Structure 1
Amino acid sequence: MDNLIRFFQLEAADGLLLFWLKESLIAVIIFASFYLLALVLGHVLVTWGPRFTSFTKTDLDDRILRRVTPPVSLLLMFAGLYFAVASLPLPEKAHVITSGILFVINMIILTIIAYRAADEFLQWYAARMTGVESSGLRQLIPLVEKLISIFLIGTALIITLKHFNYDIWSIITALGIGSLAIGLAAKDTLANMISGFTLMLDRPFHIGDRIQLAGGQIGDVIDIGLRSTKIKTLDNTYLIIPNSELCNTVLINMAFPDVLSKGRINLGVAYGSDISAVKALLVNTALEIPHVRKDPAPEAFFVSFGDSALNVSLFFWVEDYTKVFSVTDQINCLIAKRFQENGVQIPYPTRTVLMEKD
């Protein structure tokens, strides 16, 4: 009887051993298949990938291919290991722990692949931006990278928690309430940041442009940040203006649509002066200044009858708005000289008082 029991025990042990050998062989075949697939795919991506991407006009696909090839091969290997372990008849607790670890590793690798592709695209896009006007957009690149990282990590975390049968809706609800509280506490900062995005994308002005604010201040744009914009005024002082105020106000961009600018000089001549001769003298005087454009040519207009003078305006154009003040000074000095030479008088304000006797 003991020998019979021992015989059945040996038969059961042999059957169990054969079962484990069979399952282990299947797991090895699964892993080996994925391993070979990873090697083949890596070889194809390294050898044949550049040949296919060479047909495109941009090098973006080449750069992304180089960045994602190593983790893609690694992802296939760990995916094969995950399915191989899943096929083994392990105890439930050991199976949950082992497959869970491998699932987390696969999610990490997949997140790295997505981040590398997005990062390569942003670096490629930043390298294509040239000129001063692109400096504001360049400031967005690090912020966009951080937002993409947060999004990818959050997505991977939600998928992982869902895989382990955790209630993700309670976490999403808590995050939503927390975000709402943070948004209410920092509404002014968020408003300025959103306005900064608007200024950088809509670009009503660029760095280096001269603008005039609704309050009358004139200055050059030095920096467009996420919270505020810095403007250097003509008297060499800095204005730091919150972006939300700039988005909700009326301003004049002197550098748009081009840097060509128009100047104006108002003056009065004595009653009795030859207005046609005065207008011709003003135009010829403006043309003597090197920075005044001949096309469009300067123009002079008889504007109105003043209390003690005939009011005349001279309009002229210069190549650059930064030279309007200096050119105005030169024209004024030369007008005073030419008026003196030609006997044109600029009268003082006068008032006649009549005294009547009883």
Structure 2
Amino acid sequence: MREFLLQLTPHEHALVILLFGMVLAVGFELLTRRLLLSLVRRSSSRLDDELLGLIRHPVAISAILLSGIWAVTVANPPYWLLGFIESSLQTLLVGIWARVALRGGHLFLELVARSNDPSTLQIHPRSIPIFDFVLKLGVFAVAGYLVLTAWGIDVSDIATSFGLATVAVGFAAQESLSNLFAGVLIIADAPYQIGDVLVLDNGDRGTVVDIGIRSTRLLTKDDIEIIVPNNIMVNTRVINETGGPNRPCRVRVPIGVAYGVDLDHVKQVLQEGLTNIPGVLYQAPGKPPAVVLRQFGASSL
């Protein structure tokens, strides 16, 4: 075999390498096709066949592209043509695997978001777009670096300039960036959601009507909207009255009655009145409305 290869001209040797890469690609395609059919029949989960189907064609194409790079090097064309072909094929490789990384990362995020196992990593479904954006940013940055390197462009000066610009922007917008990252943490961790009733550390109480990247908006009982920066929501104590397994919350209403009245009659009247208010869980097990004597006031109980 070695003697046969030594007798070949550079162009014939390059053709053999290219054919070898094509044979590997076709063999991998046939192997993964049979393996994919076997996984579909045996596995109840679609994850295995989705991952295998995701890398199936890219691996085969990569085998052809890598053999093409090797073949061009062996064929020894003019220097300018060699550099152009190698850089073009390497750019195609980077593009193919960048697409695989994006689709694979999105598939992983959806899998984690659908998982109900508390022992594994938990991601709230509504935070998928944020993680997807971060994934795209990272993949595009790495892919851009590899493409520039493939074409022989020095990225050190670009990276230095970008780093200095990032530091300058960070100092100029420190408070805004703090709220931005806090908003990402709130959306990812989901300590509260739209419709929850929150009590802030300063005593403000309201219903969450919007969770943005920079701020959270609360609507009070007086229809006053409170805009709270997310940095404050992350770093202070927040009481979620509608958190936990049960959405309803308990509301305390102070009522004063004159001294000398029949307290049992007062309790009966109040509890009967609660039954006529829509939304009151009068028959909730363990959490019925209660009338409690709190204190003796100056002119009322």
TM-score scaled by length of structure 1: 0.67
The answer to whether the Cα contact below 8 Å between 1:220 and 1:232 also exists between their aligned partners in 2 is yes
* 1:193 equivalent in structure 2: 180
For 2:251 and 2:206, locate their aligned partners in 1 and report how far apart those are by CA, in whole Å: 17
* 1:106 equivalent in structure 2: 93
* 1:284 equivalent in structure 2: 268
* 2:192 equivalent in structure 1: 205
How big is the alpha-carbon RMSD for the aligned residues of Structure 1 and Structure 2? Answer: 3.2
For 1:228 and 1:221, locate their aligned partners in 2 and report how far apart those are by CA, in whole Å: 11
* 2:119 equivalent in structure 1: none
Q: Which structure: larger Rg?
A: 1
Tell me whether 1:300 sits opposite 2:289 in the alignment. no
For 2:174 and 2:40, locate their aligned partners in 1 and report how far apart those are by CA, in whole Å: 46
Give the AA of the match of 1:65: L
Q: Deviations over 1:285-306 (max 9, x none)?
A: 34424243574563533623x4
The answer to whether the Cα contact below 8 Å between 2:208 and 2:216 also exists between their aligned partners in 1 is yes
Q: Deviations over 1:270-315 (max 9, x none)?
A: 2xx37xxx333333334424243574563533623x4444x2xxxx
For 1:307 and 1:100, locate their aligned partners in 2 and report how far apart those are by CA, in whole Å: 88
Give the AA of the match of 2:293: F
For 2:286 and 2:265, locate their aligned partners in 1 and report how far apart those are by CA, in whole Å: 18
* 2:146 equivalent in structure 1: 159
The answer to whether the Cα contact below 8 Å between 1:282 and 1:300 also exists between their aligned partners in 2 is no
Please give the residue correspondences for 1:1-358 in structure 2 after superposition, counting only pairs within 5 Å: 22-52=9-39, 55-56=42-43, 58-125=45-112, 137-163=124-150, 166-257=153-244, 258=246, 259-270=248-259, 273=260, 278-288=262-272, 289-290=274-275, 291=280, 292-293=282-283, 295-296=286-287, 298-301=290-293, 303-304=295-296, 306-309=297-300, 311=301
The answer to whether the Cα contact below 8 Å between 2:91 and 2:150 also exists between their aligned partners in 1 is no
Give the AA of the match of 2:292: A
Give the AA of the match of 2:234: C
- 1:62 Cα deviation from its structure 2 partner: 2.5
Instruction: Indicate the SS of the match to 2:293.
Output: strand
Give the AA of the match of 1:244: N
For 2:21 and 2:97, locate their aligned partners in 1 and report how far apart those are by CA, in whole Å: 16
- CA 1:27/1:126 → structure 2, altered by over 3 Å: closer, same or farther? same
Give the AA of the match of 1:283: K
Give the AA of the match of 1:261: R
Instruction: Indicate the SS of the match to 2:192.
Output: coil
Structure 1 stretches of 5 or more lacking a match? 1-17, 130-135, 312-358
For 2:159 and 2:94, locate their aligned partners in 1 and report how far apart those are by CA, in whole Å: 19
For 2:57 and 2:241, locate their aligned partners in 1 and report how far apart those are by CA, in whole Å: 52
Instruction: Indicate the SS of the match to 1:241.
Output: strand
Structure 2 stretches of 5 or more lacking a match? 117-122
Point out the structure with the larger strand share: 1
The answer to whether the Cα contact below 8 Å between 1:280 and 1:300 also exists between their aligned partners in 2 is no
Q: Deviations over 1:31-73 (max 9, x none)?
A: 1111121122122223322423665553233333333333332
> Which is further off, 248-257 or 164-173?
164-173
TM-score scaled by length of structure 2: 0.78
Give the AA of the match of 2:252: G
For 2:41 and 2:138, locate their aligned partners in 1 and report how far apart those are by CA, in whole Å: 32
For 2:129 and 2:166, locate their aligned partners in 1 and report how far apart those are by CA, in whole Å: 22
> Which is further off, 200-209 or 233-242?
233-242
> Which is further off, 139-148 or 293-302?
293-302
- CA 1:230/1:56 → structure 2, altered by over 3 Å: closer, same or farther? farther
For 1:212 and 1:71, locate their aligned partners in 2 and report how far apart those are by CA, in whole Å: 52
Give the AA of the match of 1:191: S
